[in-house]
A and B are shown apart, each in its own frame.
Chain A
Amino acid sequence: MDINLICSNKVSEKILKLIKNTDIVIEKDASIILVEQGYDMPKGKISIVFEAIDYLEAVEIILKEKKNSSLITGYALDRYTLMDVKDVLYLEVYGTELRCRTIDQMYNLKRTLSYYEQKYKSRGIVRINKSQLVNMLAVKEIVPWFNSRLVLVLENGRELEVSRHYTKVLKELLEL
């Protein structure tokens, strides 16, 4: 997650210390800015304005937002549902739809497969062929298969095929 800081050097140092062990990165072009009161808010960005004394709370807001970023919005049974990415088994393109499978339900998603691949890569969501992403946490077993392919057996017993190209990628990921 990228943020930018507009504040005094003293507050900046304290915030940098706080986020040192997280994967929050300070980026000039970040869309979320922590702005200390008294400094100008940049246009076209989301600004979180805080009093110098409340810098800790400002960082907490960012961390909370980061936690929420593990949620995926899915549509099923005429309603939208928020699900944690760790509950997802796999995502797949089915016709023109993008679907997401959890243990008990299939949801329709709005964005593209590439979007979810990029966003949840660090949470173990991995591309296994042109039309499927899998949650590696839901993989029970990797079975070697013919034609230099791999088959992933999921917790719910479903088998997913890793294409030859993505077999190489997966092997690199697992450091094989």
Chain B
Amino acid sequence: MFKKINIRNCLLSACIGLIIGILSIYSADSLTFKQGIESLLRSGSLGLLIGTVVEAITALLPISIAKPKSYFFINNLLAVFVTFLVVLITSSFYQVDFSDYKYQRFLILILLIVFIVNILEYYYYIRTNKKLDRFKRSIENRNRDEY
């Protein structure tokens, strides 16, 4: 399982955590410099933790369930779960008012990022399979020329 964990993805997750931390500082009112740094470190380490846990869980998934539908479903399920976790943790740390416009904007931003990443991933999946077809055609043509 540990072999399959991609450290780069964990670090990327930590970076995303830091970005979300910056956004949450922006959306929260009246934070001192120390509190800001603390929240940044907290969200960074939370990102790292979430990334590592997600990598570990997904490393356990058997490839027999590897279908595009299941990949996108699990991926989105994880995204929703992580967003929910972020909401839960930030609200417990900063006593955020959910009806606050700034906080709603912050949530919409996260969901927008998830949506865009999904679109990009789907585009990448389509592109990969188009490239596969093209590669197969080139091999077939080469084989035909030789026979």
Taken together as a complex, chains A and B put the C-alpha atoms of A175 and B132 apart, in Å, by 10
A136-B128 contact given A143-B67, A146-B59, A151-B66, CB 8 Å threshold: no
A144-B8 contact given A22-B146, A151-B66, A159-B66, CB 8 Å threshold: no
Tell me which residues across on chain B come within 8 A of A176, comparing CB atoms: 127-128, 131
User: B66 contacts A148, CB within 8 Å?
Assistant: no
The listed residue (A67, A122, A148, A175) touching B9 by CB distance below 8 A is: A148
Tell me, rounded to whole Å, the shortest Cβ–Cβ distance linking A146 to chain B. 3
The listed residue (A70, A136, A139, A148) touching B8 by CB distance below 8 A is: A148
Taken together as a complex, chains A and B put the C-alpha atoms of A8 and B125 apart, in Å, by 55
- Residue count of chain A within 8 Å CB distance of chain B: 31
The listed residue (B9, B125, B132) touching A144 by CB distance below 8 A is: B125
Taken together as a complex, chains A and B put the C-alpha atoms of A42 and B119 apart, in Å, by 63
Tell me, rounded to whole Å, the shortest Cβ–Cβ distance linking A18 to chain B. 14
User: A86 contacts B58, CB within 8 Å?
Assistant: no
User: B67 contacts A123, CB within 8 Å?
Assistant: no
A147 at the interface (CB under 8 A from B): yes
Tell me which residues across on chain B come within 8 A of A53, comparing CB atoms: none
User: B66 contacts A136, CB within 8 Å?
Assistant: no
A residues 146-166 in Cβ contact with B at 8 Å: 146-151, 153, 159-161, 164
Tell me which residues across on chain B come within 8 A of A150, comparing CB atoms: 128
User: B63 contacts A144, CB within 8 Å?
Assistant: no
The listed residue (A67, A86, A124, A147) touching B6 by CB distance below 8 A is: A147
User: B128 contacts A145, CB within 8 Å?
Assistant: no
- Closest-by-CB residue of A relative to B124 is A144
* Residue-wise interface mask of B (26-57) relative to A, using a CB-CB cutoff of 8 A (1 in contact, 0 not): 00000000000000000000000000000100
User: B63 contacts A124, CB within 8 Å?
Assistant: no
The listed residue (B64, B66, B139) touching A137 by CB distance below 8 A is: B139
- Closest-by-CB residue of B relative to A85 is B143
CB<8 Å pairs between A and B, sample of 11: A123-B143, A124-B135, A143-B68, A145-B66, A146-B71, A147-B4, A151-B66, A153-B67, A161-B63, A174-B132, A176-B128
Chain A residues engaging chain B, CB cutoff 8 angstroms: 22, 66-67, 70, 86, 122-124, 136-137, 139, 141-151, 153, 159-161, 164, 173-176
Given contacts A124-B136, A146-B58, 6 further A-B contacts (CB under 8 A): A123-B139, A123-B142, A136-B136, A143-B71, A146-B71, A164-B6
Top 5 nearest A-B pairs (CB, nearest first) are A146-B58, A151-B66, A124-B139, A174-B131, A159-B63
